[in-house]
Structure 1
Amino acid sequence: MGKLVSHSEDDLVFLDETVRVSGDGKLGASSDVWQVMIIDDDADVHSATTFALSNVEIQNRPLAFLHAYSAEQAREILAKEPHIAVILLDVVMEQQDEGLQLVHYIRDVLHRAEVRIILRTGQPGYAPEIDAIQQFDINDYKTKSELTRIKLYTVVTAAIRSYEQICTINSSSSGLDMILRASTELMALQTFEEFTTGVITQIARLLSLPPDGLFCIQEQLHNQENALFIVAAAGKYSDLINHPLSSIEDASIDKTLTRALHEKRNIYGREFTALHFTGNAFRNFAAFFRTERPLNDIELRLLEVFCSNISVGLANISLVTRLHNSAFYDSLTKLPNRTRLKEIIDENLISTKNQPTTLALIDIDHFAETNDTLGHQFGDLLLLAVATRLQSRLGDRLIVARVGGDTFGVLGDDIQVNPAAVLAQFERPFSIDGQDVQLSATVGLVRLSEHKGRGVEALKNAHIALKRAKHQQRTGHLYFSRNMGIDIRERVNMMHALRAAFEERHLSVVYQPQVDMATRMPVGAEALLRWTTEDGSSIPPSRFIPIAEYSGLIIELGEWVLRQACQELVRVQRLGFTDFMVSVNVSQVQFRHPHFLSMLRNALHDTNAPPHCIELEITESMAMEEPDALIKLLDQITATGVSIAIDDFGTGFSSLSHLQKLSVDRLKIDRAFVTEITDSSRGSSIAEMIIQLGRNLELDIIAEGVEDERQAEILTALGCPMGQGYLFAKPMTSDALHSWLGNHKQI
């Protein structure tokens, strides 16, 4: 077969492995087939599975596939088809627990105990817990990524054999009931040791024999040889637990179990039984029982079925153990992860015996640069060194966890976990592969005695303190205070309120006219965003624009404002103001967005606004950042016909040589310098300098914040041709703008 590979974790992956098939793959009129039902909401999984199992015959019978893409569709098929042998079921479909609910329906509502159910998932984080595997009769559980074609064939083959055997021995319902009860009891056991001991007890009960048996695991030694070790034992063998099988006196037991593992089958003698349990690539299992008599046919069949279930149980125990470790412990450092640390904090919060406790989050400064420079393998060794030092040097009774890429959490009493002690761990360099690396760290702390809430809130508060500490000064620390939480909550509330206001159309665009100061006739207008709450109060842009930028909502808001301005320009020009210009402010977040240019082009195209009458205003600080990238972007914007103005000019520290290279059309004198024009102590020096600079660079000049005639006179005398401010007009709605323009038409 060819290779079928998917790059998604949710898909099956089939590698080049050979599966032996028989027959020509064609299904005739005979209904003598194994029905395999695939339940998954991903059509690719259906096609990949049928492709992998095409032309396969098991026990000289071909496979027939039934397909369900939802739980509801699966229930309809199950009601009509009573002879389904195997169900391949996705754990997560419409809802996270949909798979387990369907298992419940099959087992407890339809009472279909014979069908074999194999759970599959592409999302190990949604794997069922031990109690879920215990509650439902799940026959196998695999992550989709581990189901290579040969493994899928092996799993389905084992399931069909198990199904056939169950059907064959239905006449012996008592034996079958015993197997089911035994499987349920075994699934309730939490550890590998409990499970293997339970296997011996249950097999003895199934065969009505004394529990004289042992359970072995095959391990690979350092010399690459395989050896059997006894992990569970009962009866006459109970003293052999944790011994190598080769150490027992009866060498025939070692020989028989080795043969069962080598031949991958059960071996039945006149006075003993050797059982083989399918393991994984690293481990295989075997058990030996002293029967003192040959087993009859029904006992042999019961044992075959039971062994099939036990193999699944062993795999499940191993899988759940791995998933548990993955869910609660960091794979690199083996430290508790964020999830486990939250649990530990919760346990600490409800304990009355602990001393006053502090949680510290430690972030390694500039670790990303170190990682990129020296390589990820070196970075991993560095993280391991940090973890080791924190564990060994801060104290014995504290908890060290890794809560993020380069962020560690430390939980302990106030004396051990203090900023000085934590930061002291980074004073000496870390030696990695003979190379000394000096690191620094920033720390955010929260005292649990001052904290009200659960572990998740404590971690969140520590993160707030850490972020504040990094913002203020790296290589420092901050304790969380209540005011920090209030600030964050207010910002979050503002963010949600702003999004709701946008969706409910409580935001609006107003327009402040711009005039020729000599004639006082309109030449354009600046589009300004306003937020009016339901009670009629206004929230100033200085409060909500930073929130919009922080949350990313500014991207949607900015596009909406631009489109509103373009539509208004079209309306104004229809009134006869053909040279009217509309200016739109662009935030730094918008300007850096990769799709800004295409958004601008689409807005111009959709509204039919003439590009040469649209002006984008950027701040002086934006104009000075990333010169090469900015020059390219401004050239692309200019190519659309749109003009560029630098807003608040004079408040920054522009490089004149850089300014000359930019495709800029106009400078706006900041209102602060307009106000100073009439101040005798400072006068008009800065405004005059900006106007002269604009002339030298052949740029248009406009002053904003013009509020009285004296300011207008001075600006005009200095050579500033255009102005904007309350002297001429306040910001106004679209309808008010039209009326204002009607009163300012040239006769």
Structure 2
Amino acid sequence: MSYPICKDDDLLSFAEDEVEERPTTTESWHILIVDDEADVHEATELALRNLSVEGKLLRFSHAGSALEAYQILTSEPDFAVVLLDVVMESEDAGLRLVKRIREELGNAAVRIVLRTGQPGYAPEIETIRTYDINDYKTKSELTRVRLFTTLAVAIRSYRQIRQLEMSRRGLELIVSGSTGLSKIRALRLYAEGVVTQLSALLGIAPDGLICAASNPQTGPTRVIAAAGRYRELIHCPLDDLPDVGLRGILQQCISRQEHLFSSGTCLYFGVRETQGIAAFVNVSTLDPVNHNLLQVFCANVTVGFENVLLQERLHDFAYYDQLLGLPNRNRFIQLITERVGNEDISLALIDLDDFAEINTVLDYRFGDLVLRTVADRLAETFGPSSVLARFAGDTFGVLGPSGTLTQDVIEQIFAAPFAVQGEVIRVSATASLIELGDGSIKGEDVLKDASIALKQAKVLNRGRATPFSADLSEAARARIHLLTDLRAAFSAERLFLAYQPQVDLISGKVLGAEALLRWQTQEGHSIPPDRFIPLAEQSGLMIPIGEWVLRTACRQLRHLADLGYPDFRMAINVSHTQFREPGFVPMLERVLEDCRVNVELLELELTESVAIGHIDSTAAKIAEIRDMGISLALDDFGTGYSSLSILKQLKVDRLKIDRSFISEIDGRGDNSGIAELVIALGRQLDLITIAEGVENEAQRSHLLQLGCKEGQGFLFARPMPATELETWLTARDNLDAV
């Protein structure tokens, strides 16, 4: 059906209507004419030919039906205005198309001008309110001037909507960039938001925009964001920019640290810890309002850039080693988790042996150079297919192909000396190896297993690379469970002291007792001291346990004195970790004051290990304790590292001969060489000797012959709880009375 559109003032009668404008740019507004009559298309384009709006020409596309128009808008969504006939293939085809544009295509920006030859088919007010259209005109009233005016209003409305959309998108990108955690992506998103926001502020298309950052510490000036034809240059050096003039403007803006407004607009952002960031916008002239807006915009954006860079630095500190630039422990755990389940990948922990001595004997700066040199050789050996990390101070982690990351390769790395600052040094390393497996265990558990194997290798296979075995993991987990149970037992007061009497070997008279720490579980099982005491020492739990032992033994000593044993001596073991605590002596003074015991009846037993590496401080602390009136014994003498000179410096009162040397004494008294030496040494130094583990009369008799006067062991009594000790003492008193 056709409708007349040409009257006395119709589209073709426009000689008296002067609306011609000279375009100022080659850019254009894209207009879609939708009508089922060819002469309407021709008349509309003829009426608007060579006209421009806001300095841009009008460019036309044509559709003869609502369906064809929908297909065009689907493939090419950047139309500014649709001039749309209402009645085409159906009476409401135009209105249906409007609904599809808004709802199905989600295009809220394009302006729609409805044109109809039969206005009665759709009431104007109801149609405009329901279908989100820009204008509703009858074809008969659209003269050239009126058509141009309607189109100009629609185009200006479209431009404002697009600017709002661009502004919203720019703000979204800026917020996303400010809160992003990814190092490179966050900065890029923020910079893209900046160039998009600039285009929105200035009302230009985001094409030809480029943002560059300069930081001498990280390399040459680089493109960090771009739009349009320069987008492929993101992350590239600025020198790769083919436009020499544009490159020069950006470099000049950064070097002069100020905005430039010649040959386009180049904005400077004075971001701390960089030489600056520059953004180029292809706009030569700015009105005063835009100029002021840009000043405020730049100030706000600079703060945002600094926040993003701060996040980068925080990310670096959290996940990368600052000395070597390698992934640190946190990042290494992430990398392990990502690769767990890859059966062709292995993990190695490589710990440098005695690295602390390099720092002590030479200095920390030289030690840092050693770490760099070792890292370089590791990276060179394992190549880009592996990931190298600094797992701890002098421990490296490597993730790589199982065929490359092997025991032999690791040991070969450290077989050759290292050249550091002209010095040739040899560095030994102990390593553990583990395959990442089938993914049945977590990445952190893999790392724990590797750490267990490394600790075991440091003890048993120093200087070598040791593969992980499941037995090591099970043993470690058992120790952890045991430590947890020990903490619970201590809190629940399931630890107790057993007392083993010490006697005069000649007369059999009871001289005192040694207080021994014991642990019995709720189920009635006894845990051997050599299993739980080392765990307590390593975990720090021995400090509170040790104080409890001292208090409990001193209270028992006081109680025995009240029962009629005023000369009873109490020997108490003190752990080397407990003894080395700075507050040990003040704690001992508090215990003595609280328990009110005769200090001359108190003896502290120390092991030889207290003196290793701490001879001066140990000797001073022993002297302080002896000045309090307390005697000291050196326990398990001969099993550790003591030398005669150390023994002289410590100035203890008594030597305890370890039970292992007593057990060597047979029925004829043979094989007693070490026990004899210890007794002779004690006699030379005027020290009392006491033998542990005396189990038969032959041992007692031979010890007396050698000159040892005191002993303890199963021959006399087993360790017993406090109540049993009191009963045992009473029974001996009654026997002596008979």
Does the alignment reach a TM-score above 0.5?
A: yes
2:323 maps to 1:332 = yes
Match of 1:738 among 723, 726, 730: 726
Q: 1:540, CA displacement in angstroms?
A: 1.4
Partner of 1:348: 339
Letter of the aligned partner of 1:491 in structure 2?
R
Unaligned runs of 5+ in 2: 1-159, 178-184
Q: How many residues align?
A: 565
Partner of 2:599: 611
Question: Which runs of structure 2 are paired with 1:202-221 in the superposition (5 Å)?
Answer: 202-211=197-206, 214-217=209-212, 219=214
Partner of 2:717: 729
Q: Distance in 1 between matches of 2:261 and 2:640?
A: 90
Q: Distance in 2 between matches of 1:403 and 1:548?
A: 27
Q: 1:691 to 1:455 in 2, by over 3 A?
A: closer
Q: Distance in 2 between matches of 1:602 and 1:470?
A: 40
Partner of 1:410: 398
2:310 maps to 1:315 = no
SS at match of 1:188: helix
Question: Which runs of structure 2 are paired with 1:540-551 in the superposition (5 Å)?
Answer: 540-551=528-539
Q: Distance in 1 between matches of 2:639 and 2:530?
A: 17
SS at match of 1:401: strand
Q: 1:450 to 1:605 in 2, by over 3 A?
A: farther
Q: 1:616, CA displacement in angstroms?
A: 0.9
Letter of the aligned partner of 1:326 in structure 2?
F
Letter of the aligned partner of 1:283 in structure 2?
Q
Partner of 2:378: 390
Q: 1:221, CA displacement in angstroms?
A: 8.1
Match of 2:274 among 282, 303, 308: 282
Letter of the aligned partner of 2:205 in structure 1?
P
Partner of 1:498: 486
Letter of the aligned partner of 1:737 in structure 2?
L
Match of 2:629 among 632, 641, 650: 641
Q: Distance in 2 between matches of 1:448 and 1:507?
A: 41
Question: Which runs of structure 2 are paired with 1:27-106 in the superposition (5 Å)?
Answer: none
Q: Deviations over 1:613-654 (max 9, x none)?
A: 100112356568755444333222211110112333455676
Question: Which runs of structure 2 are paired with 1:127-526 in the superposition (5 Å)?
Answer: 182-189=170-177, 190-211=185-206, 214-217=209-212, 219=214, 232=225, 234=227, 242=238, 261-262=257-258, 275-289=267-281, 295=287, 306-350=297-341, 356-449=344-437, 452-526=440-514
Q: 1:464, CA displacement in angstroms?
A: 1.9
Q: 1:534, CA displacement in angstroms?
A: 0.6
Q: Deviations over 1:89-109 (max 9, x none)?
A: xxxxxxxxxxxxxxxxxxxxx
Partner of 1:589: 577
Do the aligned partners of 2:212 and 2:278 also contact (CA within 8 Å) in 1? yes
SS at match of 2:633: strand
Q: 1:366, CA displacement in angstroms?
A: 2.4
SS at match of 1:667: strand
Q: 1:513 to 1:380 in 2, by over 3 A?
A: closer
Q: 1:306 to 1:577 in 2, by over 3 A?
A: same
Q: 1:199, CA displacement in angstroms?
A: 1.8
Q: Distance in 1 between matches of 2:458 and 2:203?
A: 69
2:553 maps to 1:565 = yes
Q: 1:181 to 1:305 in 2, by over 3 A?
A: farther
Q: 1:217, CA displacement in angstroms?
A: 4.2
Q: Distance in 1 between matches of 2:698 and 2:246?
A: 113
TM-score with structure 1 setting the length? 0.66
Q: Deviations over 1:240-287 (max 9, x none)?
A: 98469996659997799689944xxx7999x98665534114232344
Do the aligned partners of 1:624 and 1:655 also contact (CA within 8 Å) in 2? no
Letter of the aligned partner of 1:400 in structure 2?
L
Q: 1:234 to 1:461 in 2, by over 3 A?
A: closer
Question: Which runs of structure 2 are paired with 1:531-546 in the superposition (5 Å)?
Answer: 531-546=519-534
Q: Distance in 2 between matches of 1:729 and 1:296?
A: 103
Do the aligned partners of 1:335 and 1:402 also contact (CA within 8 Å) in 2? yes
Instruction: Answer with 499-508 or 284-293: which moved more.
Output: 284-293
Q: Deviations over 1:703-722 (max 9, x none)?
A: 33344556555555665443
Q: Deviations over 1:453-488 (max 9, x none)?
A: 232222222222222222123221110010010111
Letter of the aligned partner of 1:196 in structure 2?
A
Q: Distance in 1 between matches of 2:252 and 2:684?
A: 99
What percentage of residue pairs aligned between the two structures are identical?
42
Q: Distance in 2 between matches of 1:198 and 1:624?
A: 64
Do the aligned partners of 1:403 and 1:409 also contact (CA within 8 Å) in 2? yes
2:529 maps to 1:529 = no
Q: Distance in 2 between matches of 1:503 and 1:315?
A: 51
Unaligned runs of 5+ in 1: 1-171
Q: 1:658, CA displacement in angstroms?
A: 4.9
Letter of the aligned partner of 1:478 in structure 2?
T
TM-score with structure 2 setting the length? 0.67
Q: 1:582, CA displacement in angstroms?
A: 0.5
Q: 1:505, CA displacement in angstroms?
A: 0.8
Q: Distance in 2 between matches of 1:535 and 1:615?
A: 34
Instruction: Answer with 652-661 or 275-284: which moved more.
Output: 652-661
Q: Deviations over 1:480-518 (max 9, x none)?
A: 010010111111111111111111111011222223445
Q: 1:574 to 1:267 in 2, by over 3 A?
A: same
Do the aligned partners of 2:604 and 2:632 also contact (CA within 8 Å) in 1? yes
Q: 1:539, CA displacement in angstroms?
A: 0.9
Q: 1:422, CA displacement in angstroms?
A: 2.0
Letter of the aligned partner of 1:311 in structure 2?
T
After superposition, the CA RMSD in angstroms is: 4.1
Q: 1:449, CA displacement in angstroms?
A: 3.0
Q: Distance in 1 between matches of 2:645 and 2:256?
A: 84
Q: 1:562 to 1:179 in 2, by over 3 A?
A: farther
Q: Deviations over 1:203-234 (max 9, x none)?
A: 32345443466445474889xxxx99876555
SS at match of 2:274: coil
Letter of the aligned partner of 2:517 in structure 1?
L
Q: Distance in 2 between matches of 1:450 and 1:250?
A: 54
Q: 1:392 to 1:680 in 2, by over 3 A?
A: same
Partner of 1:100: none
Partner of 1:108: none
Q: Distance in 1 between matches of 2:582 and 2:461?
A: 31
Q: Distance in 2 between matches of 1:599 and 1:744?
A: 35
Q: Deviations over 1:173-211 (max 9, x none)?
A: x99998676323323243434432332222323454434
Do the aligned partners of 1:256 and 1:274 also contact (CA within 8 Å) in 2? no
Q: 1:323, CA displacement in angstroms?
A: 2.6
Q: Distance in 2 between matches of 1:723 and 1:247?
A: 96
Q: Distance in 2 between matches of 1:613 and 1:678?
A: 34
Question: Which runs of structure 2 are paired with 1:614-625 in the superposition (5 Å)?
Answer: 614-620=602-608
Q: Deviations over 1:707-742 (max 9, x none)?
A: 455655555566544333334333232233333334
Q: Distance in 1 between matches of 2:341 and 2:593?
A: 62
Q: Distance in 2 between matches of 1:666 and 1:393?
A: 57
